[in-house]
Structure 1
Amino acid sequence: MSKRVFLFIILGFVVISCRDNLSNKTLPELINPNDTPSIIGFNYLPSNTTGAVYRKNTYVLSYSEVHEQAEWVAYVLKASDIKEMDYKRPYFEIDSDILTGAADWRNFKKSGYNKGHLCPAGDRRGSYKDFKETFLTSNVTPQHYDFNAGIWNRLEQKVRYWAKKQDSLYVVTGGVLTNNLEVIGFENVAVPKYFYKVLLSKNHSKMIGFLLPHKESKEPLYNYIVPVDSIEEMTGIDFFPELEDALEKKLESSKTYDNWDF
Protein backbone atom coordinates (compact mmCIF):
# COMPACT_ATOMS: atom_id res chain seq x y z
CA MET A 1 0.00 0.00 0.00
CA SER A 2 1.38 3.39 -1.02
CA LYS A 3 1.86 6.14 1.53
CA ARG A 4 -0.65 8.34 -0.35
CA VAL A 5 -3.38 5.66 -0.24
CA PHE A 6 -2.69 5.07 3.45
CA LEU A 7 -3.06 8.79 4.21
CA PHE A 8 -6.36 8.97 2.31
CA ILE A 9 -7.69 6.03 4.35
CA ILE A 10 -6.67 7.66 7.64
CA LEU A 11 -8.19 10.98 6.55
CA GLY A 12 -11.43 9.20 5.70
CA PHE A 13 -11.68 7.71 9.17
CA VAL A 14 -11.06 11.13 10.76
CA VAL A 15 -13.76 12.81 8.65
CA ILE A 16 -16.31 10.08 9.40
CA SER A 17 -15.49 10.20 13.13
CA CYS A 18 -15.84 14.00 13.27
CA ARG A 19 -19.09 13.91 11.32
CA ASP A 20 -20.56 11.27 13.63
CA ASN A 21 -19.51 13.18 16.73
CA LEU A 22 -21.11 16.38 15.47
CA SER A 23 -24.27 14.55 14.46
CA ASN A 24 -24.59 12.88 17.84
CA LYS A 25 -24.12 16.17 19.64
CA THR A 26 -26.86 17.98 17.74
CA LEU A 27 -29.50 15.24 17.74
CA PRO A 28 -32.26 15.89 20.29
CA GLU A 29 -32.92 13.51 23.12
CA LEU A 30 -36.63 12.86 22.96
CA ILE A 31 -37.18 11.91 26.60
CA ASN A 32 -36.48 14.37 29.39
CA PRO A 33 -34.64 12.55 32.19
CA ASN A 34 -36.88 14.26 34.75
CA ASP A 35 -40.19 13.17 33.22
CA THR A 36 -42.54 11.50 35.63
CA PRO A 37 -43.37 7.86 34.76
CA SER A 38 -46.84 8.83 33.54
CA ILE A 39 -45.44 11.00 30.75
CA ILE A 40 -42.39 9.04 29.65
CA GLY A 41 -42.80 8.03 26.02
CA PHE A 42 -44.35 11.27 24.74
CA ASN A 43 -42.04 13.35 22.58
CA TYR A 44 -43.00 16.87 23.63
CA LEU A 45 -40.35 18.62 21.49
CA PRO A 46 -41.56 20.95 18.73
CA SER A 47 -40.15 20.98 15.24
CA ASN A 48 -37.15 23.22 14.62
CA THR A 49 -35.92 25.47 11.82
CA THR A 50 -32.24 25.40 12.84
CA GLY A 51 -31.09 21.79 12.71
CA ALA A 52 -29.20 22.51 15.95
CA VAL A 53 -31.09 20.95 18.85
CA TYR A 54 -29.25 20.43 22.14
CA ARG A 55 -30.21 18.48 25.23
CA LYS A 56 -29.30 19.95 28.60
CA ASN A 57 -29.91 18.11 31.87
CA THR A 58 -33.40 19.53 32.44
CA TYR A 59 -34.39 21.23 29.19
CA VAL A 60 -33.89 21.05 25.42
CA LEU A 61 -33.20 23.98 23.09
CA SER A 62 -33.01 24.74 19.39
CA TYR A 63 -30.22 27.27 18.76
CA SER A 64 -30.47 29.83 15.96
CA GLU A 65 -26.94 30.93 15.08
CA VAL A 66 -28.28 33.72 12.86
CA HIS A 67 -30.06 35.28 15.85
CA GLU A 68 -27.52 34.13 18.51
CA GLN A 69 -30.16 32.66 20.79
CA ALA A 70 -32.56 29.73 21.06
CA GLU A 71 -35.63 29.77 18.83
CA TRP A 72 -37.27 27.67 21.52
CA VAL A 73 -36.56 26.06 24.87
CA ALA A 74 -38.74 23.07 25.83
CA TYR A 75 -39.05 21.28 29.15
CA VAL A 76 -41.34 19.52 31.59
CA LEU A 77 -42.23 21.63 34.62
CA LYS A 78 -43.16 19.58 37.66
CA ALA A 79 -44.36 20.65 41.08
CA SER A 80 -41.13 19.24 42.53
CA ASP A 81 -39.11 21.70 40.40
CA ILE A 82 -40.68 24.64 42.22
CA LYS A 83 -39.22 25.12 45.67
CA GLU A 84 -38.60 28.08 47.95
CA MET A 85 -34.84 27.72 47.84
CA ASP A 86 -32.64 30.77 48.37
CA TYR A 87 -29.87 29.79 45.96
CA LYS A 88 -26.99 32.15 45.32
CA ARG A 89 -27.43 33.67 41.86
CA PRO A 90 -24.55 32.47 39.65
CA TYR A 91 -22.80 34.35 36.87
CA PHE A 92 -23.93 33.75 33.29
CA GLU A 93 -21.65 31.44 31.32
CA ILE A 94 -21.18 30.92 27.59
CA ASP A 95 -22.69 27.59 26.59
CA SER A 96 -19.73 25.54 25.37
CA ASP A 97 -22.01 22.87 23.86
CA ILE A 98 -23.16 25.07 20.99
CA LEU A 99 -21.06 23.96 18.03
CA THR A 100 -21.33 27.28 16.20
CA GLY A 101 -20.54 29.20 19.39
CA ALA A 102 -23.14 30.58 21.77
CA ALA A 103 -23.45 34.31 22.27
CA ASP A 104 -21.05 35.91 24.73
CA TRP A 105 -22.67 37.46 27.81
CA ARG A 106 -20.62 40.61 27.14
CA ASN A 107 -22.97 41.42 24.25
CA PHE A 108 -25.46 42.60 26.87
CA LYS A 109 -23.14 45.05 28.63
CA LYS A 110 -24.38 48.64 28.30
CA SER A 111 -26.98 47.45 25.76
CA GLY A 112 -29.99 48.60 27.77
CA TYR A 113 -31.36 45.03 27.78
CA ASN A 114 -31.61 42.34 30.44
CA LYS A 115 -30.54 38.74 29.92
CA GLY A 116 -34.06 37.34 29.89
CA HIS A 117 -34.32 33.64 30.77
CA LEU A 118 -36.29 31.37 28.46
CA CYS A 119 -36.29 28.47 30.90
CA PRO A 120 -36.62 30.55 34.09
CA ALA A 121 -34.33 29.93 37.02
CA GLY A 122 -37.48 29.79 39.15
CA ASP A 123 -38.60 26.72 37.18
CA ARG A 124 -35.45 24.85 38.14
CA ARG A 125 -35.15 25.03 41.92
CA GLY A 126 -35.18 21.28 42.46
CA SER A 127 -31.40 21.44 42.93
CA TYR A 128 -28.66 24.04 42.66
CA LYS A 129 -27.24 22.17 39.65
CA ASP A 130 -30.56 22.53 37.80
CA PHE A 131 -30.83 26.17 38.87
CA LYS A 132 -27.32 27.01 37.68
CA GLU A 133 -27.89 25.39 34.29
CA THR A 134 -30.43 28.08 33.41
CA PHE A 135 -27.62 30.66 33.52
CA LEU A 136 -26.19 29.67 30.15
CA THR A 137 -26.16 32.22 27.35
CA SER A 138 -28.00 29.77 25.07
CA ASN A 139 -30.97 30.14 27.43
CA VAL A 140 -31.24 33.94 27.37
CA THR A 141 -32.59 36.62 25.07
CA PRO A 142 -32.48 40.43 25.18
CA GLN A 143 -35.46 41.82 27.09
CA HIS A 144 -36.40 45.30 28.30
CA TYR A 145 -36.25 45.47 32.09
CA ASP A 146 -39.89 46.63 32.42
CA PHE A 147 -41.00 43.68 30.29
CA ASN A 148 -38.71 41.11 31.94
CA ALA A 149 -39.60 42.15 35.49
CA GLY A 150 -43.21 42.93 34.59
CA ILE A 151 -45.63 40.99 32.44
CA TRP A 152 -43.07 38.31 31.47
CA ASN A 153 -42.41 37.63 35.14
CA ARG A 154 -46.16 37.53 35.82
CA LEU A 155 -46.58 34.92 33.11
CA GLU A 156 -43.73 32.82 34.50
CA GLN A 157 -45.31 32.90 37.94
CA LYS A 158 -48.69 31.91 36.51
CA VAL A 159 -47.10 28.93 34.72
CA ARG A 160 -45.58 27.79 38.02
CA TYR A 161 -48.97 28.17 39.70
CA TRP A 162 -50.56 25.91 37.08
CA ALA A 163 -47.74 23.37 37.30
CA LYS A 164 -48.26 23.09 41.05
CA LYS A 165 -52.01 22.59 40.67
CA GLN A 166 -51.71 20.10 37.80
CA ASP A 167 -48.50 18.33 38.93
CA SER A 168 -46.78 18.74 35.53
CA LEU A 169 -46.88 20.85 32.38
CA TYR A 170 -45.09 20.75 29.06
CA VAL A 171 -43.62 24.20 28.36
CA VAL A 172 -42.20 25.65 25.13
CA THR A 173 -41.05 29.26 25.05
CA GLY A 174 -39.00 31.64 22.94
CA GLY A 175 -38.82 34.87 21.03
CA VAL A 176 -40.34 35.25 17.57
CA LEU A 177 -37.18 35.31 15.44
CA THR A 178 -37.57 37.05 12.08
CA ASN A 179 -35.42 38.98 9.65
CA ASN A 180 -34.38 42.60 10.19
CA LEU A 181 -34.64 42.64 13.95
CA GLU A 182 -32.73 45.13 16.10
CA VAL A 183 -29.43 43.64 17.28
CA ILE A 184 -27.10 44.27 20.20
CA GLY A 185 -23.44 43.61 20.96
CA PHE A 186 -20.47 42.64 18.86
CA GLU A 187 -22.13 39.37 17.81
CA ASN A 188 -25.41 40.94 16.67
CA VAL A 189 -27.74 39.25 19.14
CA ALA A 190 -31.28 39.75 17.84
CA VAL A 191 -33.93 41.52 19.93
CA PRO A 192 -37.34 39.85 19.38
CA LYS A 193 -40.42 42.04 19.00
CA TYR A 194 -42.64 39.31 20.44
CA PHE A 195 -42.26 36.44 22.91
CA TYR A 196 -44.41 33.34 23.23
CA LYS A 197 -45.19 30.51 25.61
CA VAL A 198 -47.09 27.36 24.67
CA LEU A 199 -48.32 25.05 27.43
CA LEU A 200 -49.78 21.54 27.26
CA SER A 201 -51.28 19.68 30.21
CA LYS A 202 -49.80 16.35 31.27
CA ASN A 203 -52.86 14.41 30.11
CA HIS A 204 -52.97 16.33 26.78
CA SER A 205 -56.48 17.55 27.48
CA LYS A 206 -55.76 21.27 27.19
CA MET A 207 -53.32 23.65 25.58
CA ILE A 208 -52.84 27.39 25.81
CA GLY A 209 -50.66 29.87 23.92
CA PHE A 210 -49.49 33.37 24.85
CA LEU A 211 -48.02 35.95 22.48
CA LEU A 212 -46.64 39.04 24.19
CA PRO A 213 -45.38 42.20 22.48
CA HIS A 214 -41.93 43.10 23.81
CA LYS A 215 -43.02 46.07 25.88
CA GLU A 216 -44.25 46.95 29.35
CA SER A 217 -47.88 46.09 30.01
CA LYS A 218 -50.25 46.20 32.97
CA GLU A 219 -52.98 44.31 31.11
CA PRO A 220 -54.23 40.94 32.37
CA LEU A 221 -52.47 37.90 30.95
CA TYR A 222 -55.60 36.49 29.34
CA ASN A 223 -55.55 39.45 26.92
CA TYR A 224 -52.51 37.86 25.31
CA ILE A 225 -53.92 34.39 24.75
CA VAL A 226 -53.87 33.43 21.07
CA PRO A 227 -54.52 30.20 19.17
CA VAL A 228 -51.31 28.18 19.05
CA ASP A 229 -51.88 27.97 15.29
CA SER A 230 -51.12 31.68 15.03
CA ILE A 231 -47.79 31.27 16.85
CA GLU A 232 -46.92 28.44 14.49
CA GLU A 233 -47.61 30.71 11.50
CA MET A 234 -45.34 33.44 12.90
CA THR A 235 -42.46 31.12 13.84
CA GLY A 236 -42.62 28.25 11.35
CA ILE A 237 -42.53 25.87 14.33
CA ASP A 238 -44.91 22.94 14.80
CA PHE A 239 -45.73 22.56 18.51
CA PHE A 240 -46.38 19.12 19.98
CA PRO A 241 -46.42 17.33 16.59
CA GLU A 242 -46.63 13.93 18.33
CA LEU A 243 -50.24 14.57 19.33
CA GLU A 244 -52.91 12.74 17.37
CA ASP A 245 -53.81 14.97 14.40
CA ALA A 246 -57.45 15.61 15.27
CA LEU A 247 -56.60 16.43 18.88
CA GLU A 248 -53.72 18.69 17.86
CA LYS A 249 -55.96 20.58 15.43
CA LYS A 250 -58.65 21.03 18.07
CA LEU A 251 -56.29 22.25 20.80
CA GLU A 252 -54.19 24.53 18.61
CA SER A 253 -57.13 26.32 17.03
CA SER A 254 -58.70 27.29 20.36
CA LYS A 255 -58.04 30.41 22.41
CA THR A 256 -60.43 29.60 25.24
CA TYR A 257 -59.13 29.74 28.78
CA ASP A 258 -62.21 28.52 30.64
CA ASN A 259 -60.37 25.40 31.81
CA TRP A 260 -57.31 27.37 33.00
CA ASP A 261 -57.59 28.90 36.45
CA PHE A 262 -56.79 32.61 36.26
Structure 2
Amino acid sequence: MSFTRIIGCLVAPLFFISCKEVVLNAESNEVIEIFQGDTDFNFLPTSTTNNVYHHDAFAFSYAEEYEQSEWVAYYLDSNDMSSVDFERPYFNQDPIVITKSADWRNFKKSGYNKGHLCPAADRKSSYELYEQTFFTSNVSPQLYDFNAGIWNRMEQKVRYWAKRYDGVYVLTGGVLSDNLKTIGKEKVAVPNYFYKIVLTKDRSKMIGFLVPHQKTSKAIYEFVVSVDTIEQMTGIDFFPNLEDALETKLESVSNVKF
Protein backbone atom coordinates (compact mmCIF):
# COMPACT_ATOMS: atom_id res chain seq x y z
CA MET A 1 0.00 0.00 0.00
CA SER A 2 1.45 3.35 -1.06
CA PHE A 3 1.05 6.63 0.77
CA THR A 4 1.97 10.20 -0.07
CA ARG A 5 2.56 12.57 2.82
CA ILE A 6 2.15 16.36 2.61
CA ILE A 7 2.67 18.69 5.55
CA GLY A 8 1.67 22.35 5.62
CA CYS A 9 0.27 25.11 7.77
CA LEU A 10 -3.17 26.66 7.56
CA VAL A 11 -3.59 30.34 8.35
CA ALA A 12 -6.39 32.92 8.62
CA PRO A 13 -9.02 33.69 7.39
CA LEU A 14 -10.32 30.17 8.03
CA PHE A 15 -11.89 28.92 11.21
CA PHE A 16 -8.72 27.93 13.01
CA ILE A 17 -4.97 28.00 12.73
CA SER A 18 -3.19 24.68 12.59
CA CYS A 19 -0.52 22.59 10.98
CA LYS A 20 -1.79 19.57 9.11
CA GLU A 21 -0.43 16.29 7.87
CA VAL A 22 -2.22 14.87 4.84
CA VAL A 23 -1.85 11.18 4.14
CA LEU A 24 -2.95 9.96 0.71
CA ASN A 25 -3.57 6.31 -0.05
CA ALA A 26 -2.36 6.17 -3.65
CA GLU A 27 -4.45 3.08 -4.39
CA SER A 28 -7.82 4.31 -3.12
CA ASN A 29 -7.20 8.09 -3.27
CA GLU A 30 -8.50 8.28 0.29
CA VAL A 31 -7.26 11.41 2.03
CA ILE A 32 -6.66 11.32 5.77
CA GLU A 33 -5.95 14.62 7.50
CA ILE A 34 -4.35 14.94 10.92
CA PHE A 35 -4.59 18.39 12.48
CA GLN A 36 -1.99 19.47 14.97
CA GLY A 37 -1.97 22.51 17.21
CA ASP A 38 -5.59 23.52 16.70
CA THR A 39 -6.97 26.37 18.75
CA ASP A 40 -9.80 25.60 21.18
CA PHE A 41 -12.49 25.63 18.47
CA ASN A 42 -12.55 23.94 15.10
CA PHE A 43 -15.67 25.00 13.25
CA LEU A 44 -15.32 22.68 10.28
CA PRO A 45 -18.09 20.12 9.69
CA THR A 46 -17.56 16.40 9.39
CA SER A 47 -16.92 15.00 5.93
CA THR A 48 -18.75 12.05 4.37
CA THR A 49 -15.97 11.74 1.76
CA ASN A 50 -12.74 12.12 3.80
CA ASN A 51 -11.61 14.58 1.12
CA VAL A 52 -11.21 17.84 3.04
CA TYR A 53 -9.07 20.59 1.55
CA HIS A 54 -8.09 24.13 2.51
CA HIS A 55 -7.51 27.31 0.57
CA ASP A 56 -6.83 30.61 2.30
CA ALA A 57 -10.27 31.72 1.09
CA PHE A 58 -12.32 28.71 2.23
CA ALA A 59 -12.25 25.07 3.29
CA PHE A 60 -14.27 22.38 1.54
CA SER A 61 -15.17 18.71 1.45
CA TYR A 62 -15.05 17.46 -2.13
CA ALA A 63 -17.50 14.77 -3.27
CA GLU A 64 -15.96 13.21 -6.37
CA GLU A 65 -19.11 11.16 -7.06
CA TYR A 66 -21.04 14.41 -7.58
CA GLU A 67 -18.13 16.49 -8.97
CA GLN A 68 -18.58 19.29 -6.43
CA SER A 69 -18.16 20.07 -2.75
CA GLU A 70 -20.66 18.73 -0.25
CA TRP A 71 -19.84 21.78 1.89
CA VAL A 72 -17.79 24.96 1.74
CA ALA A 73 -16.88 26.66 5.01
CA TYR A 74 -15.46 30.11 5.70
CA TYR A 75 -15.33 32.96 8.19
CA LEU A 76 -16.65 36.37 7.14
CA ASP A 77 -16.32 39.82 8.69
CA SER A 78 -16.17 43.41 7.48
CA ASN A 79 -12.47 43.09 6.60
CA ASP A 80 -13.38 40.64 3.85
CA MET A 81 -15.66 43.06 2.03
CA SER A 82 -14.73 46.12 0.00
CA SER A 83 -15.88 48.20 -2.95
CA VAL A 84 -12.82 47.22 -4.99
CA ASP A 85 -13.83 46.17 -8.50
CA PHE A 86 -11.48 43.29 -9.27
CA GLU A 87 -11.15 41.93 -12.77
CA ARG A 88 -13.26 38.81 -12.94
CA PRO A 89 -11.06 35.72 -13.56
CA TYR A 90 -11.96 32.60 -15.52
CA PHE A 91 -13.25 29.53 -13.71
CA ASN A 92 -10.57 26.85 -13.38
CA GLN A 93 -10.21 23.35 -11.98
CA ASP A 94 -8.94 23.32 -8.42
CA PRO A 95 -5.24 22.38 -8.37
CA ILE A 96 -5.34 20.90 -4.87
CA VAL A 97 -8.15 18.39 -5.47
CA ILE A 98 -6.36 15.09 -5.97
CA THR A 99 -9.14 13.54 -8.06
CA LYS A 100 -9.50 16.82 -10.02
CA SER A 101 -12.53 19.06 -9.63
CA ALA A 102 -15.02 19.39 -12.48
CA ASP A 103 -13.96 21.08 -15.70
CA TRP A 104 -15.84 24.34 -16.33
CA ARG A 105 -16.82 23.04 -19.78
CA ASN A 106 -19.39 20.75 -18.14
CA PHE A 107 -21.49 23.87 -17.60
CA LYS A 108 -21.25 25.08 -21.20
CA LYS A 109 -24.70 25.20 -22.86
CA SER A 110 -26.11 23.23 -19.91
CA GLY A 111 -28.68 25.83 -18.92
CA TYR A 112 -27.03 26.21 -15.50
CA ASN A 113 -24.83 28.89 -13.99
CA LYS A 114 -21.63 28.16 -12.09
CA GLY A 115 -23.13 29.13 -8.75
CA HIS A 116 -20.59 30.25 -6.14
CA LEU A 117 -20.77 28.63 -2.72
CA CYS A 118 -18.33 31.07 -1.11
CA PRO A 119 -19.30 34.26 -2.99
CA ALA A 120 -16.55 36.21 -4.74
CA ALA A 121 -17.92 39.32 -3.02
CA ASP A 122 -17.10 37.72 0.35
CA ARG A 123 -13.40 37.57 -0.54
CA LYS A 124 -12.42 41.08 -1.60
CA SER A 125 -9.62 41.76 0.87
CA SER A 126 -7.15 40.66 -1.80
CA TYR A 127 -7.23 39.57 -5.43
CA GLU A 128 -5.60 36.25 -4.49
CA LEU A 129 -8.51 35.33 -2.20
CA TYR A 130 -11.06 36.64 -4.72
CA GLU A 131 -9.48 34.52 -7.45
CA GLN A 132 -9.66 31.34 -5.34
CA THR A 133 -13.46 31.56 -5.30
CA PHE A 134 -13.41 30.82 -9.04
CA PHE A 135 -12.09 27.28 -8.59
CA THR A 136 -14.74 24.77 -9.62
CA SER A 137 -14.53 23.17 -6.18
CA ASN A 138 -16.46 26.27 -5.07
CA VAL A 139 -19.32 26.09 -7.57
CA SER A 140 -22.47 24.06 -8.08
CA PRO A 141 -24.92 24.07 -11.02
CA GLN A 142 -27.62 26.67 -10.37
CA LEU A 143 -30.48 27.97 -12.48
CA TYR A 144 -29.95 31.60 -13.43
CA ASP A 145 -33.17 32.78 -11.73
CA PHE A 146 -32.17 30.96 -8.54
CA ASN A 147 -28.58 32.19 -8.58
CA ALA A 148 -29.49 35.81 -9.31
CA GLY A 149 -32.58 35.68 -7.11
CA ILE A 150 -33.02 33.97 -3.73
CA TRP A 151 -29.38 32.80 -3.56
CA ASN A 152 -28.07 36.31 -4.17
CA ARG A 153 -30.46 37.77 -1.60
CA MET A 154 -29.25 35.28 0.99
CA GLU A 155 -25.62 36.17 0.25
CA GLN A 156 -26.38 39.85 0.76
CA LYS A 157 -28.09 39.11 4.07
CA VAL A 158 -25.09 37.09 5.28
CA ARG A 159 -22.81 40.06 4.53
CA TYR A 160 -25.16 42.27 6.53
CA TRP A 161 -25.00 39.86 9.47
CA ALA A 162 -21.21 39.66 9.23
CA LYS A 163 -21.04 43.41 9.84
CA ARG A 164 -23.79 43.48 12.44
CA TYR A 165 -22.34 40.68 14.57
CA ASP A 166 -18.65 41.46 14.01
CA GLY A 167 -18.08 38.22 12.16
CA VAL A 168 -19.94 35.03 11.24
CA TYR A 169 -19.07 31.45 10.28
CA VAL A 170 -20.74 30.27 7.06
CA LEU A 171 -21.35 26.69 5.90
CA THR A 172 -23.03 26.14 2.55
CA GLY A 173 -23.58 23.70 -0.29
CA GLY A 174 -26.05 21.69 -2.30
CA VAL A 175 -27.84 18.68 -0.85
CA LEU A 176 -26.21 15.73 -2.64
CA SER A 177 -28.23 12.56 -3.00
CA ASP A 178 -28.94 9.68 -5.36
CA ASN A 179 -30.74 10.10 -8.67
CA LEU A 180 -29.93 13.76 -9.24
CA LYS A 181 -29.92 15.23 -12.73
CA THR A 182 -26.40 15.66 -14.11
CA ILE A 183 -24.71 17.90 -16.68
CA GLY A 184 -21.62 17.58 -18.85
CA LYS A 185 -19.30 14.72 -19.71
CA GLU A 186 -18.24 14.39 -16.07
CA LYS A 187 -21.87 14.15 -14.91
CA VAL A 188 -21.84 17.08 -12.48
CA ALA A 189 -24.85 16.63 -10.17
CA VAL A 190 -27.56 19.30 -10.02
CA PRO A 191 -28.85 19.58 -6.41
CA ASN A 192 -32.58 19.84 -5.79
CA TYR A 193 -31.92 21.84 -2.62
CA PHE A 194 -29.25 24.22 -1.37
CA TYR A 195 -28.49 25.06 2.24
CA LYS A 196 -26.74 27.84 4.11
CA ILE A 197 -25.90 27.88 7.83
CA VAL A 198 -24.67 30.94 9.72
CA LEU A 199 -23.20 31.07 13.23
CA THR A 200 -22.21 34.31 14.93
CA LYS A 201 -18.62 34.66 16.08
CA ASP A 202 -19.70 34.78 19.73
CA ARG A 203 -21.66 31.53 19.18
CA SER A 204 -24.86 33.08 20.54
CA LYS A 205 -26.97 32.72 17.38
CA MET A 206 -27.32 30.19 14.58
CA ILE A 207 -29.67 30.08 11.61
CA GLY A 208 -30.16 27.53 8.84
CA PHE A 209 -31.77 27.79 5.41
CA LEU A 210 -32.92 25.00 3.11
CA VAL A 211 -34.01 26.32 -0.29
CA PRO A 212 -35.54 24.38 -3.19
CA HIS A 213 -33.52 24.86 -6.37
CA GLN A 214 -36.07 26.92 -8.26
CA LYS A 215 -37.08 30.49 -8.96
CA THR A 216 -38.95 32.09 -6.07
CA SER A 217 -40.01 35.53 -4.92
CA LYS A 218 -40.51 34.41 -1.31
CA ALA A 219 -38.55 36.10 1.48
CA ILE A 220 -35.48 34.22 2.66
CA TYR A 221 -37.06 33.71 6.08
CA GLU A 222 -39.65 31.43 4.45
CA PHE A 223 -36.83 28.88 4.14
CA VAL A 224 -35.53 28.87 7.71
CA VAL A 225 -35.20 25.36 9.14
CA SER A 226 -33.35 23.87 12.07
CA VAL A 227 -29.76 22.83 11.42
CA ASP A 228 -30.80 19.39 12.65
CA THR A 229 -33.08 19.16 9.61
CA ILE A 230 -30.19 19.91 7.23
CA GLU A 231 -27.97 17.40 9.03
CA GLN A 232 -30.59 14.69 8.58
CA MET A 233 -30.78 15.39 4.83
CA THR A 234 -27.02 15.54 4.26
CA GLY A 235 -25.55 13.15 6.82
CA ILE A 236 -23.13 15.92 7.88
CA ASP A 237 -22.50 17.04 11.47
CA PHE A 238 -21.97 20.75 10.92
CA PHE A 239 -20.57 21.79 14.29
CA PRO A 240 -19.13 18.64 15.87
CA ASN A 241 -16.78 20.56 18.17
CA LEU A 242 -19.29 22.89 19.73
CA GLU A 243 -19.94 22.04 23.37
CA ASP A 244 -22.71 19.41 23.29
CA ALA A 245 -25.37 21.35 25.19
CA LEU A 246 -24.79 24.47 23.11
CA GLU A 247 -24.82 22.49 19.86
CA THR A 248 -28.11 20.85 20.81
CA LYS A 249 -29.66 24.18 21.75
CA LEU A 250 -28.58 26.07 18.62
CA GLU A 251 -29.15 23.31 16.06
CA SER A 252 -32.62 22.28 17.21
CA VAL A 253 -34.37 25.63 16.71
CA SER A 254 -35.71 27.25 13.54
CA ASN A 255 -36.11 30.79 14.79
CA VAL A 256 -36.32 33.49 12.08
CA LYS A 257 -35.14 36.12 14.58
CA PHE A 258 -31.44 36.29 13.94
TM-score over 0.5 (shorter chain): yes
Aligned residue in 1 for 2:68:
69
**CA distance in structure 2 between the partners assigned to 1:166 and 1:172 by the alignment:** 16
CA distance in 2, matches of 1:184, 1:153: 23
Paired residues of 2:15 and 2:75 also in contact (CA < 8 A): no
Shift of 1:132: 0.6
**Which amino acid is 1:222 matched to?**
Y
Equivalent position SS for 1:164: helix
Paired position in structure 2 for 1:34:
13
Deviations 1:8-62 (A, max 9, x none): xxxx8xx3xxx132xx47x9x7x6522599xx54201000101100011121000
Paired position in structure 1 for 2:120: 121
1:47 aligns with 2:46: yes
Match of 1:87 in 2: 86
1:240 aligns with 2:239: yes
Coordinate RMSD, CA, aligned: 1.9
Query: In structure 1, which of residues 7, 20, 25 is the aligned counterpart of residue 4 of structure 2?
Result: 20
Write out aligned runs for 1:199-210 (5 A): 199-210=198-209
2:15 and 2:74 in contact (8 A); partners too: no
The alpha carbon displacement at 1:257 in A equals 2.4
Matches within 5 A, 1:173-188: 173-188=172-187
**Structure 1 residue 63, shift from structure 2 partner:** 0.2
Give 3-state SS (helix, strand or coil) of 2:85's partner: coil
Sort the Cα spacing of 1:35 and 1:138 in 2 relative to 1 into closer, same or farther, 3 A. closer
Structure 1 ranges of 4+ moved more than 4 A: none
> What SS does the corresponding residue of 2:65 show, helix, strand or coil?
coil
C-alpha distance in 2, partners of 1:252/1:144? 29
Percent of pairs with identical residues: 56
Distance 2:157 2:108 in 1: 30
Deviates more, 1:226-235 or 1:94-103: 94-103
Q: Distance in 1 between matches of 2:12 and 2:98?
A: 23
Cα distance in structure 2, aligned partners of 1:134 and 1:36: 17
Q: Secondary structure in 1 aligned to 2:4?
A: helix
Residue aligning to 1:134: 133
Shift of 1:165: 1.1
Tell me if the contact between 1:32 and 1:75 (Cα under 8 Å) persists in the aligned partners. no
Is contact 2:14-2:74 (8 Å) kept? no
Q: Secondary structure at the match of 1:20?
A: strand
Report if aligned partners of 1:32, 1:59 keep a CA contact under 8 Å in 2: no
Q: Is the 8 A contact 1:198 1:207 kept in 2?
A: yes
**Shift of the alpha carbon at 1:126?**
0.7
Task: Decide which structure has greater helix share.
Answer: 1
The whole-number CA distance in structure 1 between the counterparts of 2:44 and 2:15 is 16
1:150: which partner in 2?
A: 149
State the SS of the aligned residue for 1:66. Answer: helix
In structure 2, the CA distance between the partners of 1:173 and 1:78, relative to structure 1 (3 Å rule), is same
For 1:157, the aligned partner's letter is Q
**Structure 2 CA distance for aligned equivalents of residues 168 and 127 of structure 1:** 18
Change (3 A) 1:246 1:36: closer
> Which digits, 9 at most, give the CA deviation of each residue in 1:87-107, with x for residues without a partner?
111100111211111100000
2:20 corresponds to which residue? none
Which blocks of at least 5 consecutive residues in structure 1 are unaligned? Answer: 1-11
Determine the C-alpha separation between the residues in 1 that align with 2:81 and 2:166: 11
**Structure-1 separation of matches of 2:11 and 2:157:** 23
